[in-house]
Structure 1
Amino acid sequence: DGFLPQNYTVASFQQQVLERSVIKGYFQNRDALQSESPDYNRNAGLEVQYRSGDGRFQSFAGYSRSFTSGLEGKAYSYISGIGYDNRNISVYSNLSGMGKNYRADMGYIRGQEYYDAERDTSIFIGMNHWFTRAAYTLYSENSRRIISHEFSGRYIYDVDTAFSMLNREIEGGYTLAFSSTAQLRASYNNTTVDLLYPFTFIGDEPLPAGIYHYYQAEIRIQSDQRRLFSLQGGMAYGTFYNGTRVQYTFGIKYRAQPWGNFSVNFEQNKLEFPEPYGSDNLFLINPRVEINFSRKLFWTTFLQYNTQEDNFNINSRIQWRFQPMSDLYIVYTDNYAVEFWGPKHRALVIKLNYWFNF
């Protein structure tokens, strides 16, 4: 029951081994209090990370299990990866997955939960995820204005536990970096999705289940980040499932040295689908304020207005670093329905991190 009081507990450890490698473990627990029947979710995991002495080579592997009331079996999760970096080349690949009964109530799992708009229900599946990226950077030795040209590629492939394709993405990109810290990036993405259940993005007639192919071309710019005022923006155009999508982004940031940062980001997505699937113009506005009262006391506040969800969100956090690597966080979250201007839910969270140095 989401309205019952909840007890949340997290414990973790990290131990350095060899020169730059670590072993990490964690335990998470959520228990519903005053519940007439068992209502809990627990996660325990272990991960080993290896990094070579020069920092160029890295690899990692981890495994975890969840224990959830009412669910038995297929509650595993795993992750593994390998990477290599030098001045010109960066290559990284990881493989991860989980069973259909793995749950993480204190976190977010992408791609496991599917919503069936026709039956108004959610379905959980097991999946395996493969992610690979590679980049080559060519440095400009004889130019004062241009630092580098970067050519990059990315590949994502998701399958269910029967190895049927769920999602495939291929992306290529080019980034031009200037000595002023300004950047220009262009990219092209091609996606194939197996939509397992009917789904709607804008509340009209759900798109039918099936395989969809779509693409997107995008360009982004960023101004000199060293200046007190900096700008960023972009535009993307492409197909989206059986429709089209046009996206505009814009952001402005002001640095009040040395005590504060103020920024506002704006995003617009224009979605058009053939009849009877509808069309819409979605807006997202996201102001952010960061104030440093001292070297130990910080205040960060996010505001967000989202027309798709008709939601206005406030997230405000106070951080007190009372000892090195030890922090006290006080976080207040508030969500409002914009149309009728009423609170949806509120939360006050207190979190304490303490660093033990053995």
Structure 2
Amino acid sequence: MNRDAAGRATVRAIRLDGGLRLDGVLDEPVYQTVPPITGFIQQLPDPGAPATERTEAWIMFDDTNVYVSARVWDSAPESRWVANEMRRDTTQLRQNDTFTAFFDTFYDRRNGFNFYTNPLGARSDAQFTNEGNPNNDWNPVWDVRTGRFAGGWTVEMEIPFKTLRYRAEPPHLWGIQLRRAIRRKNEWVYLTRVPISAGGASGAAGIFRVSAAGTLVGLEPPPASRNIEVKPYGIGGIATDLTAEPVVDNERSGNGGIDVKYGITQNLTADFTYNTDFAQVEVDERQVNLTRFPLFFPEKREFFLEGRGIFGFARGGVTRRPAGPGGAAGGIFGDVNVPQLFYSRKIGLEQGRVIPIVGGARVTGKVGPFDVGALNIHAGDEVVSASEPTNFTVVRLRRDMLRRSSIGGMFTNRSVSRVAPGASQAYGVDGTFAFFDSVSLIGYLARTRVPSPEYEGKDTSYQGKFEYAADRYGLQVDHLLVEDNFLPEVGFLRRDNVRRTFVSGRFSPRPQSIESVRQFSLEGSVDYILTADAHELETRQRMVTFQTEFESSGRLSFTATDSYELLVEPFTPPGADFAIPVGGYGFADYQVAYAIGQQRRVNGQVALRRGDYFGGRLTSLDLSQGRIGVLPQMSIEPIVSFNWIDTPYGTFRSNLAVTRVNYAFSPRMFFSGLLQYNSADYSFSSNLRLRWEYSPGSELFVVYTDDRDVTNGFRPNRGLDLRNRGFVVKFNRLFRF
């Protein structure tokens, strides 16, 4: 290994003649004869300083796999390591002590694949596109084993070349970044230095900065071949649905289907699915919604997760605060006021009902400087939601420009519109331009077409956003237009007929004289939303937040909000039995919140909020992101929200309780039980799932789900309150050729 004048590392991969025995014990001769990769550099808490704990790594390969091994030294006893998660791809795993390997296989300095593990051998993986947009639900075939030695823990990863996409022609240069998290110190270290501004709130996001990665040389990947994966499945179960027409009562069923993945080239992959089934997917977590706008739920279905970063269109920046009563702010999935041309949950889901998917195909990959994505899905009909057989088409093209910039276009088509006879389309162009380490420009222009005179004209949306996101200072200026008839029917639209201007500024010093504090942050913002047609003020929100981040990774924040909301039609809050009349309403709102570091055995965020609500008062007490580590294999994750609302038009309460119980038998077999109560629709539901990956890429699922009406409370005889119930067993098998 060597480094250039800027500190960027160049690493040579070592060819193995006999492969590697994957057991987490670093006893092969290569570990004695080949010098390790060392010299990791802090990003946090002391940017540019050497890591406080030694890490030694090796990159190796044979004709089939890439191997990443590490000897992770730790001066603390094992009892002080943060290792309390064995399940795959969980948020909590990212809060453990971890070792990460990242590959930029096209050496384009913007996209790549991420693999990491903890001392217990849990696995997580992700795809990155355009130095962000992580797809943490991507589940490739790879394996890892961990072990112990007198000075710490060890890692051996085995990543098949078939799992990765890369250029077939030489020279075979890949980008490489290695990362280690030492969570008891809240320390993040990298092989190649990453600017502190790229680390996000915790330091973990530094891995996204692909342009800062080192270079991996010496690889000899196998020549391009037509990689084929075939994954048939079989499913059987019994279901009751008292809301269906006609009623379904203990109906037995059995079915099967198949997914096929075909490598068109080493850079392009085609996926085919027939009789697609998502019975194993965990149900959505309920959310409290006191606004007049729809909620955004993330995609969880596997077929739509792979390659989803390519289909992202001009996504807004992430906001770190909850929406106010007027709904002006965003959420953890980005600024939800910005429309999405493609929202995959519009396929196969309608009004809370599952729509059968007959089949479909997808092509994703890279052709020269172009990212390419195309999707075609045919969905069947469903009586309760009045859904007709519908074909969905999405085409996405994006071209790399400069060092970290891109421009692109997207087209979507829905063969059966939900609002008029005929097909509807959406199309647009977008651009993302990144300069230096902290400056970015994002913009798009889009239109929709709905086959109805009612939707002619006023069908345009555009956005322009400037952001300066350094560590100490931040500035964002954003202007968005969504006209009244803009309707992306294969996308997500939170609100239309708006002209929005948003400005925010941030000052985030890192005090050197206060040992317990890592960073202060003072942020102020103004959100100003007019109606697009009449230029009438509809929403105004002024917000100030002061946050203290402690060295323990705990956070204490205070937020004050002053806002105004115009109701142009009566609004009935979810869970209320009255309507709030038309008119203008002012809000003054105050919130205090404390978040315990997620690496702690008991963690979560508690928030108390008090303020105005449409002429009345709102008091809320929330516990979010809660987790209690009972054992390394077992955890309980509670979420509780109590909301007391008193208005001149009526009084109501909106309460939500969500609890997830997890137990991992091994890193490849786990049980998860999700229990939920929501007073807004008087529902109590359960979702119990057992997942066993009995062979890499092959799984067995056992799932029980029910939903009950608790309008009259939790009575002993709850069978009469049943809405629906299902029990399924699903088995699939992966064949690779």
The TM-score bracket by the shorter chain reads 0.7 to 0.9
Equivalent positions of 1:100-115 (< 5 A) are 101-104=487-490, 109=492, 111-112=494-495
Structure 2 counterpart of 1:271: 645
Structure 2 counterpart of 1:283: 655
Between the aligned partners of 1:77 and 1:297, the Cα distance in structure 2 is 43
Q: Which one-letter code corresponds to 1:142 in the other structure?
A: S
Between the aligned partners of 1:154 and 1:325, the Cα distance in structure 2 is 46
Contact kept in structure 2, 1:78 and 1:97, CA below 8 Å: no
Match of 2:629 among 238, 248, 255: 255
Q: Is 1:67 equivalent to 2:415 in the alignment?
A: yes
- Bigger relative CO (Cα 8 Å, ≥ 6 apart): 2
Match of 1:343 among 717, 722, 734: 722
Structure 1 counterpart of 2:472: 88
Q: Which runs of 5+ in 2 are unaligned?
A: 1-242, 247-353, 433-441, 443-466, 713-717
Larger mean Cα displacement after TM superposition, 234-243 or 63-72: 63-72
**1:154 to partner: Cα distance:** 4.7
**1:160 to partner: Cα distance:** 5.9
Q: Which one-letter code corresponds to 2:566 in the other structure?
A: D
Quick one: structure 1 residues 2 and 249, their matched pair in 2 at CA, closer, same or farther if it must change by over 3 Å?
Answer: same
Quick one: structure 1 residues 153 and 334, their matched pair in 2 at CA, closer, same or farther if it must change by over 3 Å?
Answer: farther
Secondary structure of the corresponding residue to residue 139 of structure 1? coil
Match of 2:588 among 212, 215, 218: 215
**1:243 to partner: Cα distance:** 1.6
Identical-residue share of aligned pairs (%):
17
Contact kept in structure 2, 1:79 and 1:95, CA below 8 Å: no
**1:96 to partner: Cα distance:** 7.7
Between the aligned partners of 2:399 and 2:730, the Cα distance in structure 1 is 29
**1:320 to partner: Cα distance:** 5.2
Larger mean Cα displacement after TM superposition, 40-49 or 143-152: 40-49
Quick one: structure 1 residues 222 and 333, their matched pair in 2 at CA, closer, same or farther if it must change by over 3 Å?
Answer: same
* Higher Rg: 2
Q: Which one-letter code corresponds to 2:663 in the other structure?
A: I
Deviations 1:60-102 (A, max 9, x none): 8655343324625765376856355443345565858585554
**1:302 to partner: Cα distance:** 2.1
Between the aligned partners of 2:731 and 2:468, the Cα distance in structure 1 is 35
TM-score normalised by length of structure 2: 0.39
Secondary structure of the corresponding residue to residue 197 of structure 1? coil
**1:15 to partner: Cα distance:** 2.5
Match of 2:521 among 137, 150, 153: 150
Deviations 1:6-57 (A, max 9, x none): 42256545425789x955444444320689x9814444334567889987x7
Structure 1 counterpart of 2:356: 7
Equivalent positions of 1:303-318 (< 5 A) are 303-318=675-690
Match of 1:179 among 521, 535, 551: 551
Q: Which one-letter code corresponds to 1:111 in the other structure?
A: R
Q: Is 1:203 equivalent to 2:576 in the alignment?
A: yes
Between the aligned partners of 2:599 and 2:666, the Cα distance in structure 1 is 22
Quick one: structure 1 residues 214 and 145, their matched pair in 2 at CA, closer, same or farther if it must change by over 3 Å?
Answer: same
Between the aligned partners of 1:295 and 1:323, the Cα distance in structure 2 is 12
Alignment: residue pair count: 338
Deviations 1:279-301 (A, max 9, x none): 02322111112333322334333
Between the aligned partners of 2:423 and 2:401, the Cα distance in structure 1 is 37
Between the aligned partners of 1:131 and 1:48, the Cα distance in structure 2 is 29
Higher helix share: 2
Deviations 1:152-200 (A, max 9, x none): 3455555666365554434331211001111101112333333232122
Secondary structure of the corresponding residue to residue 599 of structure 2? coil
**1:146 to partner: Cα distance:** 0.5
Q: Which one-letter code corresponds to 1:269 in the other structure?
A: N
Between the aligned partners of 1:61 and 1:170, the Cα distance in structure 2 is 34
Q: Which runs of 5+ in 1 are unaligned?
A: 113-124
**1:145 to partner: Cα distance:** 0.7
